[in-house]
Amino acid sequence: MNQTELLDQFILEARDCLEQVGQRLLEVEKAPTDTELLNDLFRQVHTLKGNCGLFEFKPLERVVHAGEDLLDRVRNGSLRYSNDIADALLEAMDFTVQMIDEIEQSGQINPAADGRSQALASALRVHLSAKAVPAEGSPTSAAQVVQVPPAPAEAPAWLSRIPQALIEAHPEATAWCYRPEPECFFKGEDPWLLALKAPALQHLCVGTQQPWAPLEAADCYQCNLDIVGLSDAPLAYLNEHFRYIPEQVELCEVATLATPGQAGGATAAADALPSNATAATAASSAPVSQAADTLHRRALQTWDEQIELLGRPGTTPGTLQAVRTTLRHLLQAVGEPGQVHLTALAQVDANASAAALQQWAAQHRPVRALPTDLLLDVHASAAFADGTPTPGTPSGTDASRRHPGDDGNHPKVLKVGQEKIDRLMDLIGEMVVAKNALPYLAQRAETVFAQRELSREIKAQYAVINRIAEDMQHAIMQVRMLPVGTVFQRFGRLVRDTSRKLGKEVALLIEGEDTEADKNVIEALADPLIHIIRNSLDHGIESPEVRKAAGKPAQGTIRVVARQESDRVVIEIDDDGAGVDPDRVRRKAIERGLIPEDKAATLTDADAVQLIFLPGFSTADTISDLSGRGVGMDVVRNAVERINGHVELSSQLGKGTRLRLSLPLSMAVTNVMIIEAGGRRFGVPMDLIVETVRMHADDIHHFKHARTTVLRGRIVPLRALHDLLSLDHQPTLNEEGEHAVLVMRLGGENVGLLVDQFHGATDIILKPLEGVLAGLTGFAGTALMGDGSVLMVLNPKELV
């Protein structure tokens, strides 16, 4: 994979992560104690941070890293989630989205973004020091690699591997111990190279984590290194260098170490820590029983999970090794009560079967309480709650891949670029055109060349090709289908921010997110729906005080529902706000010169509220960033009608407002009625047609230059297509003296179109007009017919 392909993959995966992060942030704000939500949110941010490490996008990586640190503190219970933290994380996510957009456009990040990146990272890290765990010494998040114990602290055992003279010669140096995961080679890591490249390296020595196995039993793909080094670089530089493997590195500032006679009890506590723990601190004499109890419960939970894992069929050797490592770390974390079991575990044969190891684990399950003077960073030693891999657990084994409810049979997802799907759609369109040419060939074979047998064979072959083409068309259209939830997801953030800005309390309820429609329809929905939600927040939902005075709950509700009806998608947005005041709408329409006063007085209340769709209409008294410019609902109707949809509005004063959007499932294939006028053929979209009728000339009434008729007890205005298109001919009559009338539904009223002839319906691939022809609003586009001719498709909404 070249650099460009890797970058494209990064952008695609980053957008997926950000979509999940945005959704989870809003959900966590509603349920800040939901462990599953917090863990899932942390996993998404952790994945995004890891992906950023593939490229030199420092401003982006800095912000994501700070967000991960903050979330890690929240999920391990040492920091309470608050609105301020939510605001900081959401602002950081917005910045990340902007950076991804910039990377997609230019392949790099503007250096000017570095300043804002540092400000956002600092704003996130402020919360890390704002609230501390109730213990002496502030705990540090797991992603920070090091937590320096309160000085003076006893030197760790591994420090003795560095010559004392060298330590004395570098009193301000930082010592570190790096124990790579056994499966690190499978992750593309090179521990030795990473150690050699440590900044300001002064000393390096290598040992083994476990005694080497006999040569015939050795596994060359398992890393067994134990690397100790000494660097003169500042602690922050080493944190940055080891930022992707913090759980495998232990750092120690030489200047903070106690002399041999100090802190006598600290050594035992340090020795009790797991070999790869990144944060351990001896607390003061004040007990921290609550934290210890929590750790104990989580440790036992993880122990039981390992027993369950061993009971699954088909356990691989890699999984067995990972379980042994996890059990060893848990026993080390227990401290003194686990020493006996730790010794017993070392005596268990390394090649023991899953059943034997499971039996041992069940018999040696630690039951004594943890010491109350020891705090561990749970994330650093094991994934006690969220299922993330335990340090030392190979990522390719069942232990790290399985999640609760994962049966391993989920359908595989293949991510394909949008342009490839569009290309397939273009090809199927060409196939439809080629397929439609076969009936013309069959007709010519019979009428021109008198080859009836050949004509029948062509028709038979056409039936086969038609079935295959329809199946292919349906399959490709299914690929293009997306759930409307992809648009709905952004509403949560919109409602949250806007309601807080307006000082209102609003709950958003969404139903039917899984309803699917063509991607072009989904993309066209975004702006109209955002306009509607903003109008509901600004004009619909009242302030808490007004709602209480009206006998309503202080919190308003906006409800968005999507469902499929026949071949259309219906989306309803309703609120329980103040509703639309028809009298006020009439006054505003008159003030803005949008409707004469005498006509406004004749409108019913139901018709009056429809005036909000007029261009330039607004009921806002002042212009703000939310309303007052008169471009809201007019934009909504135009955007929806542009994709062959329509909008219906109903409102009840004091009770609320409902908007109903009816949209086509797909815009890829259009069904049209072919009509003829003045010797030319045109197409009319079928979704606008009510019926086709034959109307006798005597039943058509003329009033000045207008034509009307009475159809099914209602007056229907008539328009001649010849006049609308400035054709030389006038509508023709058939032998019975009847006109062909195409009745359409436009703007809530029926309108009849006088034409010469009907030629049936057909499916076409509509191509929009381009270049200078794009200004012809009376035409929706063109379509290539089977006989090679081009069909002009009308846009009656603009034409009539």
* End residue of a domain, out of 628, 643, 664: 664
Q: State the pLDDT confidence band at 562, using cuts at 50, 70 and 90.
A: very high
Residue type, 771: G
CATH number at 74 reads 1.20.120.160
Domain range enclosing 41: 3-131
> What is the enclosing helix (H) or strand (E) of 232?
none
**pLDDT score for 572:** 94
Higher local confidence (pLDDT), 625 or 575: 575
**pLDDT score for 185:** 83
Same domain, 614 and 594: yes
Higher local confidence (pLDDT), 627 or 528: 528
Residue 374 clears pLDDT 60, i.e. is over it: no
Residues in the chain: 800
On whether residue 246 sits in a domain, the answer given is: yes
Nearest to 163 by CA among 191, 204, 198: 204
Token pair, residue 68, equals 């991960």
Query: Which range among 169-178, 293-302, 398-407 has the greatest average pLDDT?
Result: 169-178
Residue type, 475: A
Give the burial string for 303-314 (b: 16+ CB within 10 Å, else e): bebbbebbeeee
**pLDDT score for 352:** 78
Q: State the pLDDT confidence band at 136, using cuts at 50, 70 and 90.
A: very low
Same domain, 173 and 104: no
CA angle 99-103-104, nearest 5°?
120
- In whole numbers, what is the pLDDT of the chain averaged over residues? 78
246, 143 Cβ separation under 8 angstroms? yes
Q: State the pLDDT confidence band at 312, using cuts at 50, 70 and 90.
A: confident
Q: What is the largest CA-CA distance in the chain?
A: 119
Q: What is the per-residue DSSP string for 722-788?
A: HHHTT-SS-----TTSEEEEEEEEETTEEEEEEESEEEEEEEE--B---GGGGG-TTEEEEEE-TTS
Residue 432 clears pLDDT 80, i.e. is over it: no
On whether residue 521 sits in a domain, the answer given is: yes
Specify the pairing of strand 506-511 against strand 556-565: parallel
Q: State the pLDDT confidence band at 640, using cuts at 50, 70 and 90.
A: confident
Nearest to 265 by CA among 251, 285, 250, 279: 285
**pLDDT score for 282:** 32
Residues facing residue 203 across a β-bridge: 230
- Region 558-568: what's the mean pLDDT? 89
CATH number at 695 reads 2.40.50.180
DSSP designation for 272: T
DSSP designation for 538: I
**pLDDT score for 619:** 65
**pLDDT score for 346:** 67
Same domain, 196 and 127: no
Q: What is the per-residue DSSP string for 472-499?
A: HHHHHHHHHEEETHHHHHHHHHHHHHHH
Residue 142 clears pLDDT 60, i.e. is over it: no
Q: What percent of the chain has pLDDT over 70?
A: 80
Residue type, 503: G
Q: State the pLDDT confidence band at 289, using cuts at 50, 70 and 90.
A: very low
* End residue of a domain, out of 643, 664, 685: 664
On whether residue 274 sits in a domain, the answer given is: no
> What is the enclosing helix (H) or strand (E) of 664?
strand 656-664
What digits encode the pLDDT tens for the residues 659-679? 999 888 876 677 889 999 988
Higher local confidence (pLDDT), 666 or 34: 34
Q: State the pLDDT confidence band at 682, using cuts at 50, 70 and 90.
A: very high
CB-count burial class (<10 Å; 0-12, 13-18, 19+) for 609: buried
Higher local confidence (pLDDT), 800 or 409: 800
Q: State yes or no: cis peptide before 411, omega within 30 of 0.
A: no
Same domain, 109 and 164: no
What digits encode the pLDDT tens for the residues 231-240? 988 787 788 8
**pLDDT score for 269:** 34
Q: What percent of the chain has pLDDT over 90?
A: 11
Same domain, 495 and 641: yes
Cα–Cα dist 593/576, whole Å: 30
520, 555 Cβ separation under 8 angstroms? no
Same domain, 496 and 619: yes
Cβ neighbours, 10 Å, residue 98: 14
Contacts of 62 (CB under 8 A, 6+ apart): 117, 118, 121
Total domain count, the chain: 5
Same domain, 68 and 199: no
Same domain, 721 and 588: no
Give the torsion sign (CA, 423, 424, 429, 430).
Answer: positive
**pLDDT score for 340:** 56
Token pair, residue 149, equals 């114990």
- Region 704-729: what's the mean pLDDT? 87
Residue 371 clears pLDDT 60, i.e. is over it: no
On whether residue 369 sits in a domain, the answer given is: no
Give the torsion sign (CA, 192, 196, 201, 205).
Answer: positive
Higher local confidence (pLDDT), 716 or 9: 716
- Region 142-156: what's the mean pLDDT? 49
Same domain, 534 and 611: yes
On whether residue 316 sits in a domain, the answer given is: no
On whether residue 374 sits in a domain, the answer given is: no
Give the burial string for 463-474 (b: 16+ CB within 10 Å, else e): eeeeeebeeebe
Give the torsion sign (CA, 233, 234, 237, 243).
Answer: positive
Same domain, 745 and 674: yes
Q: State the pLDDT confidence band at 389, using cuts at 50, 70 and 90.
A: very low
* End residue of a domain, out of 97, 116, 131: 131
Same domain, 778 and 674: yes
Cα–Cα dist 124/118, whole Å: 10
Residue 462 clears pLDDT 50, i.e. is over it: yes
Cα–Cα dist 79/140, whole Å: 11
CATH number at 168 reads 3.30.70
Token pair, residue 741, equals 């009338």
What is the number of helices (H) and of strands (E) in the chain? Answer: 26, 24
Cα–Cα dist 536/395, whole Å: 48
- Region 203-220: what's the mean pLDDT? 86
Cβ neighbours, 10 Å, residue 411: 4
Listed in sequence order, the DSSP H helices in 234-334 are 235-241, 266-271, 289-310, 317-334
CATH number at 647 reads 3.30.565.10
**pLDDT score for 150:** 43
Same domain, 193 and 84: no
Q: State the pLDDT confidence band at 713, using cuts at 50, 70 and 90.
A: confident
Residue 567 clears pLDDT 80, i.e. is over it: no
On whether residue 321 sits in a domain, the answer given is: no
Contacts 24+ apart (CB under 8 A), 198-201: 198/229, 198/231, 198/233, 198/238, 198/241, 199/231, 199/233, 199/237, 199/238, 199/241, 200/231, 200/232, 200/233, 200/237, 201/229, 201/230, 201/231
On whether residue 139 sits in a domain, the answer given is: no
Residue 228 clears pLDDT 90, i.e. is over it: yes
328, 393 Cβ separation under 8 angstroms? no
Query: Which range among 179-183, 292-296, 401-405, 415-419 has the greatest average pLDDT?
Result: 179-183
**Pick from 202-216, 255-269, 486-500, 708-722: least confident:** 255-269
Residue 367 clears pLDDT 90, i.e. is over it: no
Residue 382 clears pLDDT 50, i.e. is over it: no
